[in-house]
Chains A and B, each alone.
Chain A
Amino acid sequence: MLGYGAVLVLVALGGTIAVVFVGLSRYLGPRNANAAKLTTYECGVEPVKTARERFPVRFYLVAMLFIVFDIEAVFLYPWALLFRELGLFGLIEMAVFLMVLVVGLIYAWRKGALEWE
């Protein structure tokens, strides 16, 4: 348990600093609000309408496809690092893995998941 003492100190210190800084800026800082200041921050662009609207379910499909291939990349890196040790067996196993994903992509493609309209 003793080894974690430093973590505890860090948490306490971080918490104190956060509370002190936010409190100080609230106590000392001048406050003169205007319409431009109170508006929603959207990276400098003027907000057009409410953010709480329905958005197309296609986003969801695209996001899912993205995650699938994102994870694929995660699996490819360690394999690439150990390519020589794993040898032919690793190559074949990776090829099978990629093939299954490609079948998924073909399926999604043929079912029109990649078409926006």
Chain B
Amino acid sequence: MRLFDPHIHMTSRTTNDYEALYANGVRALVEPAFWMGQPRTNVGSFIDYFDSLLGWERFRAAQFGIRHHATIALNPKEANDPRCVPVLDEIPRYLVKEGVVAIGEIGYDSMTPAEDEAFSRQLQLALEYSLPAMVHTPHREKLAGTQRTLDVVRESGVEPGMVVVDHLNETNVGMVKDAGAWMGFSIYPDTKMDEQRMVAILREYGTEKVLVNSAADWGRSDPLKTVSTAHAMLAAGFTADDVDKVLWRNPVEFYGQSGQLILDPIPGFDAADLPDAAAGFEGNSVLRGARV
């Protein structure tokens, strides 16, 4: 069972998580740029973060046999801090980097004018760079926020098929489907969605244009939620092909629109299921200690 987590913040996770992801069949993932818990206060903080997503984190994932991709954007929450907004001028140069598969997370947090401005500008960048857009929906005022999101996308001229609207639930999935955008669902231990409700939504709305992610980050979350959703689908009578479609082919199709997905196996991982000692290293790094 090959799995693709289309939304997971690995920067906030440990190497144990990488090992568990690989052991459970996750071979590719997308890490969207987002906030860090502690608010950023300047552009340099974003630059180091973006560089880390395209450098260290990609390298770290590769040590565990997982292809790491990123989306880059000024997130809606920090779009409200004028000290952070000038990062918008730096974003274009990141959009041509290898493995940058979308602009995101963009969208709304509190639906302020500053968020409107950052959202629209970045949708224009998506158009200009022919990249998909990954849109976060607000935790509060989700329904109204989703409607407004879809309106802004329509006005932007970005094709709905180039947009995933994420963190959906039973209340707003219908409007996103009707708009022709991709539907993203984050499976969380307590909040957002859970596996059983996800299975019910798949029954009702089908598997087309559905992306399921763990959205695991520094909060209470579980990077193996894609795995448990796959099992829940099988237990509910979905076929292995359905699982492959939702948890591999769909994210490949959506992010593949960027032309930036790299999915060939990492050298040393194609044959065996264990990290290749020759590919590793140690020190101030990831794979500490001698391997046998």
Does B associate with A?
no
